[in-house]
Amino acid sequence: MTLDRVRLSGGGRIFPEEYTSAEDAMRMGDARLSAGDVKEADNYFGLALTKGKLLESELAAEQRRQQEENVRLAEAKRLEEQRRQHLLEEQRRQEQEKADAESRLRREQKQRFPEKTRPSRERPLPAFHTAKRGETLPLIAASPDVYNDPSLWPLLYRANRDQIKDPRHIWPGQVLRIPRNLSRDDINEARRYAQQRSIY
């Protein structure tokens, strides 16, 4: 029966007033039939049937609407999840690009500005030299602490003329001045002098 299908499909819960009205018409039909009024009973049964069919149609429409709403909600949820995933991927991509850019910048800075090794403090060159036994002016001039060049001995000779009479003879214990801040001309002249006058 129509009302039974409506009841089993949840019509009484979804359309309580309409379902109650159809049931009332059915009960009135049963009551009129029990009273022997067949014609009036048929009228109520017909009314109950009409209401039942209308209710069944509305229930089917509501179920279709609910199904469509469920589909719409599921699609909206799927799209929202898709959008969220896209945002997460975009965020990860941007973070990766930022990390790559920072790494690239560090590499470029290292290449452009290599870390400077801390310069070791150079020992200042001495301004004096104390002669030792067996040393000569060329031997002293050849010392790395002096000129590292034996041909520059004339520079020592000229700076210490007050205590060196003969450049071939120096004495142990003599404290010799070592000229610094020499010009190119001073160096060239000293080398010419050393070539012209050998002290060996």
Token reading at 17: 């007033």
- The string of pLDDT tens digits covering residues 35-74 is 786 677 677 666 666 766 776 777 777 778 888 889 889 9
Phi, psi for residue 177 in degrees, rounded to 5: -75, 140
Of residues 76 and 10, more confidently modeled = 76
pLDDT at 77 over 60: yes
Three-class SS state of 8: helix
Quickly list DSSP for 117-133: PPPPPPPPPPSEEE--T
- Cβ atoms of residues 14 and 62 within 8 Å: yes
Distance CA 8, CA 14 (A): 12
CA dist 79 and 186 (Å) reads 88
The domains of the chain are located at: 2-110, 128-196
The more confidently predicted of residues 93 and 44 is 93
117-152 pLDDT tens trace: 555 566 788 999 999 999 999 999 999 999 999 999
3-state secondary structure of 58: helix
Write down the pLDDT at residue 41: 65
Look at residue 178 in the predicted model and tell me its pLDDT.
94
Helices 38-112 and 16-34: angle between axes, nearest 10 degrees: 160
Instruction: State the Cα–Cα distance between residues 59 and 37, nearest whole angstrom.
Output: 32
CATH entry, 128-196, from 3.10.350, 3.30.1330, 3.90.190, 1.10.3470: 3.10.350
What pLDDT score was predicted for residue 27?
72
